[in-house]
Amino acid sequence: MTTTHLMNTYARQPVAFVRGEGAYLWDEAGKRYLDAVAGVAVNALGHAHPRLVKAIAEQAATLIHSSNLYRVLRQEELADKLCALSGMDRAFFCNSGCEANEAAIKLARLYGHGKGIELPTIIVVEKAFHGRTMATLTATGSRKIQAGFEPLLSGFARVPFNDIEAIRHVAEHNKSVVAVLIETVQGEGGINILPAEYLAELRTLCDAQGWLLMLDEVQTGIGRTGTWFGFQHAGVVPDVIALAKGLGGGVPIGACLARGAAAEVFTPGTHGSTFGGNPLACAAALATLETIEAEHLLDNARLRGDAIRAGLRGALDGVHGVLDIRGEGLMIGIELDRPCAELVGVARDAGVLINVTADSVIRLVPPLIYGADEVDLLVATVADVVRNYLQQAA
């Protein structure tokens, strides 16, 4: 049964899931699917993880929501934990990734005005995705996302991805720049990995110019790439971090973390959220972080991610049409030489949930709890799907 009372914002697939357990989902007819999408990198612990279920149930039975008009003890506990893991000083909690990026953008503008810059400008990059609010879709480097929503906002300067000279060029000619906003791995853009050397050079450049280095870790954060945060692969520390997706294990929560001068920009009344950081969402996030630590899921993400990439490279070696297999941890892309959106339905019929982004990149972002059996099943199914598709099209 479908409904005509939903706004037509999604091209939904013809399947509805009614329950989940571990790395698997079941539809209305009882068919089982291996989940390699995880709610688009959200379900870090898989489905119905006992630790997360227990934490949510206990908090729901105690206190779901109060207000940011008062102290929220769970929120304070979560801020302490995230700052300890990231090296940041303060946290602002919201409900989603676009809100976390929106907070970062507002923080940067306020930071710039505090320095006497009339039109503070943020450098963003091509193929980026930062969200769908007006500010974040303006920051997003995709005309497909922006089309029809003009006029876009001013205050952004766009440069090519992984081009430090382009940023130096902007620095020479635009004295209104206050920050750089960038993903350590572009998710929607096609699993494009920012080299560690680039990030180190960017840190140096930001320090020299007095800019804030702001990292969109909405998809890469909370263990997705095998470290708590993507920037930890590069050995640099940003000024601002945007988080969401995996943070609540499926319960909506986002966070904007900051350190140093950036952490002192917001003052009472300058920003806020009605629901952000309520006790229920924070309890879920704390349980997610505790479970990642207790079950060594950072190590698991590295181990299983390496195994998936190695398995796919072996199975697809020499197959014409496969351009690249790349990624970090459990954030994996298979780039083909042609659009391949139809593979989502083919894989689903075969019992595996995958995603295609940037038209020609198969995106795999499975739960961090994957075991060897799930790795083997994913590799065998995806390799068959890709091989058959390319051979039929040849």
According to the annotation, is 217 in a ligand binding site?
A: yes
pLDDT of residue 51: 98
Give a yes or no: residue 10 inside a domain.
no
Q: Both 290 and 312 in a single domain?
A: no
User: Alpha-carbon torsion 149, 155, 157, 158, what sign?
Assistant: negative
Give a yes or no: residue 291 inside a domain.
yes
Q: Both 79 and 184 in a single domain?
A: yes
pLDDT of residue 394: 66
How does DSSP assign 275-323, residue by residue? STT-HHHHHHHHHHHHHHHHTTHHHHHHHHHHHHHHHHHHHTTT-TTEE
According to the annotation, is 209 in a ligand binding site?
A: no
According to the annotation, is 342 in a ligand binding site?
A: no
According to the annotation, is 216 in a ligand binding site?
A: yes
pLDDT of residue 4: 84
Distance between CA atoms of residues 108 and 125, nearest Å: 16
Cα 2 off chain centre by:
30
pTM: 0.96
Last residue of a domain, one of 262, 295, 328: 295
Contacts of 59 (CB under 8 A, 6+ apart): 74, 279, 280, 283, 284
Cβ proximity of 189 and 128 under 8 Å: yes
* Preceding peptide of 14 cis, ω within 30°: no
Last residue of a domain, one of 295, 311, 331: 295
Q: Could you tell me the maximum CA-CA distance found in the chain, to the nearest angstrom?
A: 63
Last residue of a domain, one of 236, 262, 295: 295
Cβ proximity of 197 and 162 under 8 Å: no
Q: Both 57 and 195 in a single domain?
A: yes
Q: Both 214 and 264 in a single domain?
A: yes
According to the annotation, is 338 in a ligand binding site?
A: no
Give a yes or no: residue 2 inside a domain.
no
According to the annotation, is 360 in a ligand binding site?
A: no
148: domain range?
A: 51-295
Q: Both 140 and 32 in a single domain?
A: no
How do residues 18-39 score in pLDDT, each as one tens digit?
Answer: 999 999 999 999 999 999 999 9
According to the annotation, is 86 in a ligand binding site?
A: no
Give a yes or no: residue 4 inside a domain.
no
Give a yes or no: residue 290 inside a domain.
yes
Q: Both 261 and 327 in a single domain?
A: no
Give a yes or no: residue 269 inside a domain.
yes
Give a yes or no: residue 11 inside a domain.
no
Q: Both 26 and 75 in a single domain?
A: no
> Splitting the chain (394 residues) into consecutive groups of 10 residues, what average pLDDT does each group show?
83 97 98 98 98 98 98 98 98 98 98 97 97 97 94 97 97 96 97 97 97 98 98 96 98 98 97 97 98 98 98 97 98 98 98 97 98 98 98 78
3-state secondary structure (DSSP) of residue 179: strand
According to the annotation, is 273 in a ligand binding site?
A: yes
Q: Both 90 and 204 in a single domain?
A: yes
The CATH number of the domain where 69 resides is what? 3.40.640.10
pLDDT of residue 157: 97
DSSP H helices, the chain, are 38-41, 50-60, 73-86, 97-114, 134-139, 143-146, 164-173, 196-209, 279-294, 297-315, 343-349, 372-393
pLDDT of residue 392: 86
Q: What residues does 21 pair with on adjacent strands?
A: 24
Q: Both 99 and 230 in a single domain?
A: yes
For the chain, the domain total comes to 2
Distance between CA atoms of residues 161 and 163, nearest Å: 6
Give a yes or no: residue 264 inside a domain.
yes
Among candidate residues 278, 252, 299, 218, the one with its CA nearest the CA of residue 78? 278
The CATH number of the domain where 341 resides is what? 3.90.1150.10
How do residues 286-345 score in pLDDT, each as one tens digit?
Answer: 999 999 999 999 999 999 999 999 999 999 999 999 999 999 999 999 999 999 999 999
